[in-house]
A and B are shown apart, each in its own frame.
Chain A
């Protein structure tokens, strides 16, 4: 599975968009990009995943570059409850089970 690189921390103002980058330059064609978040020692929570097209759901949007070497998770209107550690994970889509968690990005949403 490809390795990911994320900034250790970021912050944004409440109500503004939070844009969390992830570099996965060694990603291969059959690997998807997943995002999870963990709010203060709770169990991680799935946010979104994608292969090559941009994806949007009720929580966030995922923008994947055309070469698929990087992606950005967008929280369009961040709230204080979005303060969490965000993990970008790349994994294969065969029978692979693995979620390999790095150290993630700690997002602080400021009032």
Chain B
């Protein structure tokens, strides 16, 4: 089984709908992240969490919210989806070791019509 899983893998929705993307990890890592990627561009950080009680905004948090339900689960919500939130969304995890690498999930392709 994959260490970092994301659900759903693909989603098509309409403008104004509320959407939740979920991420689960079995790596036992304390840190979790949400990124988005637009075509031809690198990843941009939306939110990150260093532990269950810690939530921080990244570069592009407007229009998004997150919930860290447990150490292993980190959800990203779009309260009212808009077309320019159409993108590929990645969850990642890392531990708190000094040289931590981030482990990425397979991604969720979201289309907002």
Q: Which positions in A face B, CB cutoff 8 Å?
A: 32, 34, 41-46, 49, 87, 93, 97-104
A41 x B107 contact (CB < 8 A): yes
| 26 CB < 8 A contacts A-B | A32-B99, A41-B88, A41-B107, A41-B109, A42-B106, A42-B107, A43-B4, A43-B92, A43-B105, A43-B107, A44-B43, A45-B104, A46-B101, A46-B102, A49-B101, A87-B42, A93-B99, A97-B94, A99-B43, A99-B45, A101-B35, A101-B42, A102-B42, A103-B40, A103-B42, A104-B42
A43–B88 CA distance with the chains assembled, in angstroms: 10
Q: Which residues of B lie under 8 Å from residue A101 when comparing CB positions?
A: 35, 42-44
Contacts A42-B107, A93-B99, A103-B42 supplied; 14 other A-B pairs, CB < 8 Å: A41-B109, A43-B4, A43-B104, A44-B102, A44-B104, A46-B101, A46-B102, A49-B99, A49-B101, A93-B98, A97-B33, A98-B45, A99-B45, A101-B43
